[in-house]
């Protein structure tokens, strides 16, 4: 029969699986040693403060342990003998100890708060520095929101862990050890009886931790699903409204909430079993101490004071155990955060500056040359590591094949072709946002990888398609183009671009706030600001009538700005911008393309033809066909030309 009987081997494998499960859970509760060490590494600069903190912690804990032995003394030496003077002395001691404890606690809390805030500020700065030096290709694959949440939410979780859980952990352990010493010193036999509860406690705690690992992980997972759903709802709110599908989302959200609630309920069950049990154990200990110690006291083997002291001290013994289990939860989420932050910081930048950088000549001629350049995401580049710094596309990772292209100094090359053909990859290579997988990119004969990125880019002006602006004024955004650009520089650049009249129309002229992402400017105005920002890069105008500005310009032309008021200005400014310097333009406007010195048609990662507008038209290839299509598109409009 095929019914699986409970065979010997079956039960052993099942048992084996159970053990493996326990082992897995156990590993999940500890481990992460490397991360913890890195946390300690971050604390190293503050050794002095930490030392003081530990002393304060020790003193504060010791002070809080004092009442029990003092009670024992008071009963035995004071009350039982009617010695009031002795009692007064003890009261003075108690007050003195308490005052010392007060001071120590203040010092402790201040230092802990300081340390928590300091470490987290350091960590934020470190993450930010790290993100800044990660290559553009990395950022293209990561959502900004996720990265920022590492710097905020995860860092916050870590702060809670450091400033509350860590202190609780240390002081609880100290308290536990202190109580053990006090219990032993009060009465060895009673102490040993009390300690019989320790194995029970340890086993119980272990079981609790093992059981909760999965429950906690599950709650975090389900809450993550809720957050993701919420995020998506907010991003897609227009679609939801348009189709009136609110109810469906409400139902789904409630379902996710139910899952989270179920997962949470499991932790409630676990806590409801564990904490009251520990509490009961402490009661049991008191009962035993009373019975055993009481009998001894009646026999005169133990003084009544010791017994009272003992009962009082028991609280300090069991209290920390509950506390330790309590901090366990915050510790878990803190460690999870540490893990995520650590994983982020472990990502190494694949685009680094050379150890011995070469200098660019000054003035730069500006000849750009692609030599047998092949690029693919995930394809190893020189140096052996993946060039994209992330997982590559699963199919056809090669974006550019064996590109050979020379852009003479001062010339403008227009790149034309479909989306995904590889135009923007070429531009990214020129700015060294990415490194070629094979071949090299040369500027005036120098391999870009032999230059410092800062040196290279300070000679370049880059106009991205979306014209990203930072919040601040128009002038600030233009000055962004070059470190140390003055107001005069900004005004000169605006004037030389002929953008003055457009930008002056803004409510506060150059001092107008551009709003988040430049939202309070029109698309055309944003474009002009981006032009000015690119033009201010590089050397300032040197007074010989030349415009100055960057030697190299990389421009991704905006596709659609139906902004007639600025349209002509943009065309004129573009012409000015392109004159007199080496430029690569991802071009969409015929006027731009026509005026280029060289047009390169990019298809499927290759340059399929190159030449001037006229040459290419004569050749009758891909470009000529594009042009023909376009002409049909504009003139096909019935009788547009006729009327």
Partner 1 sequence: MPTFRRLLGFLRPYRGTWVISFSLALLAMGVTVASPYLVGRGIDQIRAGDRGGLTFFAVAIALLGLGRLLLTIGRRLVAGRVSLGVEQDLRDRLYGHLQSLEMGFFDRWQTGQLMSRATVDLSAVRFFLGYGLVFIVQSLLTVVLAAIAMTIQQPLLALLALLPAPLIVFVGHAYGTRGRPAQQDAQQAVAELTAAAEESISGIRVVKAFAAEERRREAFEATVERAFGKQLRAVRIEAAFQPFVQFLPQISLAIVLLAGGRMVVDGDLTIGQFAAFYVYVLMLIQPLRSLGVMLGLGQRATASGMRLFEVLDREPTIVAPTDRPVRTLPADGGGAIRFEGVTLRYPGQTRPALEDVDLTIPAGERIAIVGETGSGKTALIQLLPRLYDPTAGRVLIDGVDVRDLDPTALRREIAIVDDDPFLFTASVAENLAYAAPGATREEIERAAERARAADFIAALPDGYETVVGERGLTLSGGQRQRLAIARALLAGPDREPGDPRPRGPRILILDDATSNVDATTEQAIAGGLDEVMAGRTTLVIAHRLSTVRLADRVVVLERGRVAAVGDHDELLARSQLYRDIVTYGMAGQVFLTRKQEPIEVTEA
Write out the binding residues for partner 1, residues 491-550 only, by CB under 8 A: 516-517, 522-524, 533, 537
Write down the least CB distance from residue 514 to partner 1, Å: 12
If the CB atoms of residues 231 and 406 are measured against partner 1, the closer one turns out to be 231
In residues, how long is the chain? 643
For the bound state, the minimum distance from the C-beta of residue 317 to partner 1, rounded and expressed in Å, comes to 13
The minimum distance between CB 395 and partner 1, in angstroms, equals: 5
The smaller minimum CB distance to partner 1, of residues 158 and 593, is found at 593
- Nearest distance from residue 22's CB to partner 1, in Å? 25
The helix or strand, by DSSP H or E, that contains position 313, with its residue range, turns out to be helix 304-346
Binder of partner 1 out of 15, 23, 129, 619 (CB under 8 A): 129
Alpha carbon of residue 137 to chain centroid: 16
Q: Which is nearer to partner 1, 85 or 501 (CB)?
A: 85
Candidates 367, 561, 580, 597; binder of partner 1 (CB under 8 A) is 561
Please pick, from the candidates 286, 345, 539, 576, the single residue that binds partner 1 as defined by CB under 8 A.
286
When asked if residue 29 is in the footprint of partner 1 (CB under 8 A), the reply is no
Residues 166-225 that bind partner 1 (CB under 8 A): none
Which 610-629 residues touch partner 1, going by CB under 8 A? Answer: 626-627, 629
Q: Is residue 633 part of the contact set for partner 1 (CB under 8 A)? A: yes
Which residues ranging from 389 to 448 are in contact with partner 1 (CB under 8 A)? 391, 393-396, 416, 418-421, 431, 433
Q: How many residues interact with partner 1 (rule CB under 8 A)?
A: 168
Least Å distance, CB 33 to partner 1, is: 28
Strand-strand pairing, 368-376 and 438-443: antiparallel
Sorted by sequence, the CB contacts under 8 Å of residue 486 that are 6+ apart come out as 479
Instruction: List the interface residues with partner 1, window 296-355 (CB under 8 A).
Output: 297-298, 304, 307-308, 311-312, 315, 319
C-alpha torsion angle, residues 414, 415, 416, 421 (rounded to 10)? 180
Candidate residues 177, 192, 287, 343; the one interacting with partner 1 per rule CB under 8 A: 287
Question: 465-484 mask for partner 1 (x: CB under 8 A)?
Answer: ---x-xx--------xxxx-
Nearer to partner 1, 8 or 243 (CB): 243
CB of 504 to partner 1, least distance (A): 19
Rounded CA gap, 102 and 109, in Å?
11
- Chain center to CA of 542: 43
List, in sequence order, every residue forming a beta bridge with 400; answer none if it has no partner.
375
Task: Give the integer Cα–Cα distance in Å for 75 and 186.
Answer: 13
Phi-psi region of 537 (alpha: psi -120 to 50; beta: other; left: phi over 0): beta
**3-state SS of 10-43?**
HHHHHHHHHHHHHHHHHHHHCCCHHHHHHHHHHH
Distances (CA, A) of 628 to 148, 419, 589, 616, 636: 48, 19, 15, 12, 11
Q: How far apart are CA 643 and CA 628, in angstroms?
A: 22
Nearest-10 Cα torsion for 118, 120, 124, 127 = 120
3-state SS assignment for residue 466: coil
Among 25, 32, 49, 139, binds partner 1 (CB under 8 A): 139
Per CB under 8 A, which region of 19-27, 121-129, 196-204, 575-583 contacts partner 1?
121-129
Binding to partner 1 in span 368-397, by CB under 8 A: 391, 393-396
Would you count residue 630 as binding partner 1 (CB under 8 A)?
Answer: yes
Nearer residue to partner 1 within complex by CB, 428 or 492: 428
Rounded CA-CA distance 504/42 in Å is 50
Would you give the distance in Å from CA 446 to the centre of its chain? 35
Nearest distance from C-beta of residue 181 to partner 1, angstroms: 18
CB of 288 vs partner 1, minimal distance in Å = 8
50-68 in b/e form (b: 16+ CB < 10 A) is beebeebbbbbbbbbbbbb
Contacting residue, 458, 473, 540, 606, with partner 1 by CB under 8 A = 458
Nearer to partner 1, 381 or 477 (CB): 477
User: Of 352 and 561, which CB lies nearer to partner 1 in the complex structure?
Assistant: 561
Nearer to partner 1, 246 or 404 (CB): 246
Site for partner 1 in 228-257 (CB under 8 A): 228, 230-246, 248-250, 253-254, 257
Alpha-carbon gap, residue 437 to 381, rounded angstroms = 4
Q: How far is the CB of 403 from partner 1 (least distance, A)?
A: 18
From candidates 94, 180, 210, 539, binder to partner 1 by CB under 8 A = 94
Report in angstroms how near the CB of residue 643 gets to partner 1 at its nearest. 5
Smallest gap from Cβ 216 to partner 1, in A, equals 15
Helix (H, G, I), strand (E, B) or coil at 354: coil
Region from 112-120, 198-206, 434-442, 608-616 binding partner 1, contact rule CB under 8 A: 112-120
Cβ atoms of 528 and 503 closer than 8 Å? yes
Q: Which is nearer to partner 1, 265 or 495 (CB)?
A: 265
- Report the residue from 505, 572, 591, 620 that binds partner 1 according to the rule CB under 8 A: 591
Nearest to 338 by CA among 133, 142, 165: 165
C-alpha to C-alpha distances, 586 to 182, 539, 563, nearest whole angstrom: 79, 24, 20
Q: In whole angstroms, how close is the CB of 82 to partner 1 at the nearest point?
A: 5
DSSP string, 148-216: HHIIIIIHHHHHHIIIIIIHHHHHHHHHHHHHHHHHHHH-HHHHHHHHTHHHHHHHHHHHHHHHHHHHH
| 140 vs 371 by CB, closer to partner 1 | 140
Within 10 angstroms of residue 593's Cβ, the number of other Cβ atoms is 21
CA terminus-to-terminus distance, the chain: 91
Least separation in angstroms between CB 517 and partner 1 = 8
Give CA–CA dist 167/386, Å, rounded. Answer: 42
Give the one residue of 54, 62, 226, 541 binding partner 1; rule: CB under 8 A.
226
Range 45-74, binding partner 1 (CB under 8 A):
67, 70-71, 74
- The piece of 3-11, 188-196, 295-303, 577-585 that touches partner 1 (CB under 8 A) is 295-303
Phi-psi domain of 587 (left: phi exceeds 0; alpha: psi -120 through 50; beta: other): beta
- What is each CA distance from 108 to 53, 138, 159, 168, 175, in whole angstroms? 6, 42, 16, 12, 15
Among 10, 16, 221, 279, the residue binding partner 1 under the rule CB under 8 A is 279
Per-residue binder mask for partner 1 (CB under 8 A), 140-159, x = binder:
----xx-xx--xxx--x---
Return the number of other C-beta atoms located less than 10 Å from residue 212's C-beta: 22
């Amino acid at each position: 029969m095929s019914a699986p009987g409970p065979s010997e081997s079956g039960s052993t494998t099942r048992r084996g699986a159970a053990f493996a499960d326990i082992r897995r859970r156990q590993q999940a509760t500890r481990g992460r040693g490397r991360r913890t060490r890195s946390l300690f590494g971050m604390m190293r600069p503050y050794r002095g403060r930490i030392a003081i903190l530990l002393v304060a912690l020790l003193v504060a804990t010791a002070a809080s342990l004092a009442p029990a032995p003092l009670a024992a003394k008071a009963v035995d030496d004071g009350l039982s003998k009617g010695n009031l003077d002795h009692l007064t002395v003890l009261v003075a001691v108690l007050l003195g100890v308490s005052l010392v404890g007060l001071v120590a606690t203040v010092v402790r809390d201040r230092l802990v708060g300081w340390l928590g805030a300091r470490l987290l500020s350091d960590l934020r700065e470190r993450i930010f520095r790290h993100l800044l030096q990660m290559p553009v290709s990395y950022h293209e694959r990561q959502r900004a929101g996720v990265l920022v949440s590492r710097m905020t939410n995860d860092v916050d979780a870590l702060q809670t862990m450091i400033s509350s859980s860590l202190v609780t952990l240390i002081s609880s352990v100290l308290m536990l050890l202190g109580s053990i010493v006090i219990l032993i010193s009060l009465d060895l036999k009673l102490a040993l009886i009390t300690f019989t509860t320790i194995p029970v406690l340890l086993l119980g705690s272990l079981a609790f931790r093992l059981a909760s690992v999965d429950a906690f992980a599950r709650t975090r997972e389900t809450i993550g699903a809720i957050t993701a759903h919420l995020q998506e709802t907010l991003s897609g709110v227009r679609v939801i409204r348009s189709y009136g599908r609110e109810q469906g989302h409400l139902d789904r959200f409630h379902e996710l909430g139910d899952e989270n609630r179920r997962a949470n309920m499991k932790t409630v069950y676990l806590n409801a079993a564990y904490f009251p049990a520990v509490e009961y154990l402490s009661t049991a200990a008191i009962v035993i101490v009373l019975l055993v110690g009481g009998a001894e006291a009646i026999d005169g083997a133990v003084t009544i004071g010791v017994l009272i002291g003992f009962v009082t001290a028991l609280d300090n013994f069991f209290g920390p155990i509950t506390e330790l289990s309590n901090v366990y939860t915050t510790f878990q989420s803190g460690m999870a955060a540490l893990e995520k932050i650590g994983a982020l910081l472990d990502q190494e930048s694949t685009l680094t500056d050379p150890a011995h950088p070469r200098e660019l000549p000054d003035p730069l001629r500006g000849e750009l040359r692609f030599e047998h350049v092949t690029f693919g995401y995930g394809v190893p580049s020189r140096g052996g590591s993946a060039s994209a710094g992330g997982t590559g596309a699963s199919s056809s990772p090669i974006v550019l094949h064996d590109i050979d292209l020379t852009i003479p100094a001062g010339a403008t090359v227009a790149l034309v072709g479909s989306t995904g053909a590889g135009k923007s990859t070429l531009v990214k290579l020129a700015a060294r946002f990415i490194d070629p997988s094979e071949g090299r990119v040369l500027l005036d004969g120098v391999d870009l990888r032999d230059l410092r990125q800062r040196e290279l880019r300070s000679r370049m002006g880059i106009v991205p398609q979306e014209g990203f602006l930072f919040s601040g004024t128009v002038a600030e955004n233009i000055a962004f183009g070059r470190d140390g650009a003055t107001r005069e520089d900004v005004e000169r650049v605006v004037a030389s671009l002929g953008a003055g009249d457009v930008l002056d129309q803004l409510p506060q002229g150059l001092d107008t706030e551009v709003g988040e992402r430049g939202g309070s400017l029109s698309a055309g105005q944003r474009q002009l600001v981006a032009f000015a920002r690119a033009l201010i890069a590089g050397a300032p105008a040197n007074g010989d009538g030349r415009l100055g500005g960057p030697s190299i310009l990389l421009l991704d032309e905006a596709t659609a700005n139906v902004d007639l008021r600025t349209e002509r200005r943009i065309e004129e400014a573009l012409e000015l911008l392109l004159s007199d310097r080496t430029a690569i333009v991802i071009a969409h406007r015929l006027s731009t393309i026509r005026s280029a010195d060289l047009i390169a048609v990019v298809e499927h990662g290759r340059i399929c033809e190159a030449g001037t507008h006229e040459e290419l038209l004569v050749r009758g290839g891909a470009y000529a066909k594009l042009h023909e299509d376009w002409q049909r598109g504009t003139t096909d409009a019935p009788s547009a030309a006729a009327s």
